Amino acid sequence: MSTRTLAVVSGGLSNPSSTRLLADRLTAATVAALRERGEDATVEVVELRPHARDLADHLVTGFPNAALRTAIGTVVGADGLIAVTPVFSASYSGLFKTFFDVLDKESLIGTPVLLGATAGTARHSLVVEHAMRPLFSYLRAVAVPTGVFAAAEDWAGAGAEQALAGRIDRSTGEFADLIAGRPVAAGPADRFAGTPSFEELLEGA
């Protein structure tokens, strides 16, 4: 049995936040699904709200301060990433996008990612497909086929709640399969390791 690291990025701003609530449901179900597959998991949650100013500073200065550097290190070194955003104006929130804007664009290549979004109305239910999935395709992460969207009504009635639970189980099962099928993550890559020698540079490598 190996131990996998799960990073959870939650873009919710309120407390309690339905985004964080969904993130927690996805996390618990993933840990359970991994255990069924013989894998232990440790979980690190990155709430973006405390990093709002850090992220704005990064946009201006071009480097992360110590707190944000720690959060980024958590995400880029994980075996799997659960990324959950509230829907703002028909897409992921600006804060959520900013976090992924400041990552090295090669840092999530091949990482399994479970996508989740929350909104006040089910009319945003395709946001996972039309907004989040292209973002993670660009980052060449491996997004789980089933994304999980939860509107206000999913938290309310018994029938809707069951439908959400079914989507959570299906997505986290797919997610756990992806993680369990891969070698344990080695942590963040050394960005100097791939530097070509000067002989290769001269030859146009």
Partner 1 sequence: MQFGIFTVSDITTDPTTGRTPTEAERITAVLTIAAKAEEVGLDVFALGEHHNPPFFSSSPTTTLAAIAARTSTLQLSTSTTLITTNDPVKIAEDYAMLQHLSDGRIDLMMGRGNTGPVYPWFGKDIRDGIPLAVENYALLRRLWREDVVDWQGKYRTPLQGFTSTPRPLDGVPPFVWHGSIRSPQIAEQAAYYGDGFFSNHIFWPPEHTQRMVEFYRSRYEHHGHGTADQAIVGLGGQVFMRRNSQDAVNEFRPYFDAAPVYGHGPSLEDFTAQTPLTVGSPQQVIERTLGFRDYVGDYQRQLFLLDHAGLPLKTVLEQLDLLGEEVVPVLRREFAALKPAHVPDAPTHASLVAAAQARPEAVPAR
The whole-angstrom distance between residue 105's C-alpha and the CA centroid of its chain comes to 14
Task: Give least dist CB 129 to partner 1, A.
Answer: 31
DSSP state of 107: T
Task: Show the 3-state SS of 8-45.
Answer: EEECCCCCCCHHHHHHHHHHHHHHHHHHHCCCEEEEEE
Task: Give least dist CB 53 to partner 1, A.
Answer: 8
Task: Give least dist CB 94 to partner 1, A.
Answer: 16
Q: Which is nearer to partner 1, 69 or 123 (CB)?
A: 69
Q: Which is nearer to partner 1, 53 or 123 (CB)?
A: 53
Backbone angles phi, psi at 48, to 5 degrees: -80, -25
| Angle (deg, nearest 10), helices 66-76 and 52-61 | 100
Task: Give least dist CB 63 to partner 1, A.
Answer: 5
Binding residues (CB under 8 A) for partner 1: these are 56-57, 59-63, 65-66, 191-192, 195-198, 201-202, 204
Q: Which is nearer to partner 1, 59 or 165 (CB)?
A: 59
Q: Which is nearer to partner 1, 38 or 204 (CB)?
A: 204
